[in-house]
Amino acid sequence: MESTGVSMMANVARNRMGAMLVCGAGMIAIGAGEAWGQQAANEGSEPGFDWSFSAHTRYDFRSDLEGTNNGEYAVWRSGFDTSLRFPIADTARLKLGLGYEYNNYDFDQPNSFLATPAAEPFSDIHILNLSAVGEFQVDEEWSWYAGGGVRMAGESGADTGDMTTFSGRGGVGYRFSDSLEMTFGAVVSTQIEDDVLILPAITAMWNINERWDLRVTGPGAELSYAIDDETWIGLAGRWENRRFRLEDDVLGLGSVIEETAIPVYLHLRRAAGNGLSLDLSAGAIVGREFDIEDRDGRNGTTVDGDAGFFASVGFRYDF
């Protein structure tokens, strides 16, 4: 976006590499949050063909479950995101997206969830996201986008139809200057055994100066500093939400779990050349909470988790 110097390198690399979500988004892997995190904007560029692939793995270190007798849990989260963008008209492109995240929960004495402390309330959770978004450039300043997606989130063995939701999104983008672009839109999403959710979708990319950038992507934000033309360090945070269906197991017949958390972290990104970038992140997770509902989304109870730490590694390749 920028014309010269480090600011061009930082901004172009940031726009192309995106903001890797250390859990997922890429995958915030979220009914509404996923749509938030993956909304599209043309960003003032000429339509063209590009393909990107990113992968990540993250470990949430063991932390306490409040209200339990020494109850603890830890989580491994691994996944990938890929997108293909191609022209469909002189000033329009279509973006197709595919994302997957595997979450492995390891509980120890989770008697807030169960009457039997030795039992595991759930373990292997799979989240799959499919999306299609049209991006349209009106002029040098204005653009707009519209699209939708399908999401499946559930435990191994859960019924596919019971863990599928649908979303739609749309909005407009405006380029205020060479250093500031924003989009304003909304996301409408169905939820597993809950009401339709409507959320604002706002993004911003601000090249503050030759070294500093601020990026806002829906439920998250990152302030980054360009150490040199190939290395960036940032302070970031975002809201995460995962709502998923369980199989017919110890929690009941197809119970619904909603997990929310707020990671705050340091993010190091290194451009390795030829479209490849590497990401390292580490920080704390606060505001952790599990909402447990029956298969109809009723009779909910809440289990809070103590703050904990996490570390993540990932890469992205742009073709």
**pLDDT above 90 for 118:** no
- Cα distances from 57 to residues 73, 232, 287, 313, in angstroms, run 17, 20, 21, 6
Give the DSSP H or E segment for 7: helix 5-17
Mean pLDDT, range 270-286, rounded to an integer: 96
Protein fold of 5-318: Porin (2.40.160)
pLDDT at residue number 250? 56
Mean pLDDT, range 282-306, rounded to an integer: 86
What's the pLDDT band for 247 if we cut at 50, 70, 90?
confident
pLDDT at residue number 207? 97
pLDDT at residue number 96? 98
How many residues make up the chain in this entry? 319
Q: Rounded CA gap, 30 and 238, in Å?
A: 12
Average pLDDT, the chain: 83
pLDDT at residue number 69? 66
Q: Rounded CA gap, 78 and 53, in Å?
A: 14
With CA atoms as reference, report the closest residue to 21 among 319, 310, 318. Answer: 310
Mean pLDDT, range 38-61, rounded to an integer: 72
What's the pLDDT band for 67 if we cut at 50, 70, 90?
low
Helix ranges (DSSP H) in 43-169: none
Tokens 């599209």 correspond to 40
* Tens digit of each residue's pLDDT (9 = 90 or more) over 199-240: 999 999 999 999 999 999 989 999 999 999 999 999 999 999
Strand partners, 216: 204, 221
Q: Rounded CA gap, 122 and 113, in Å?
A: 10
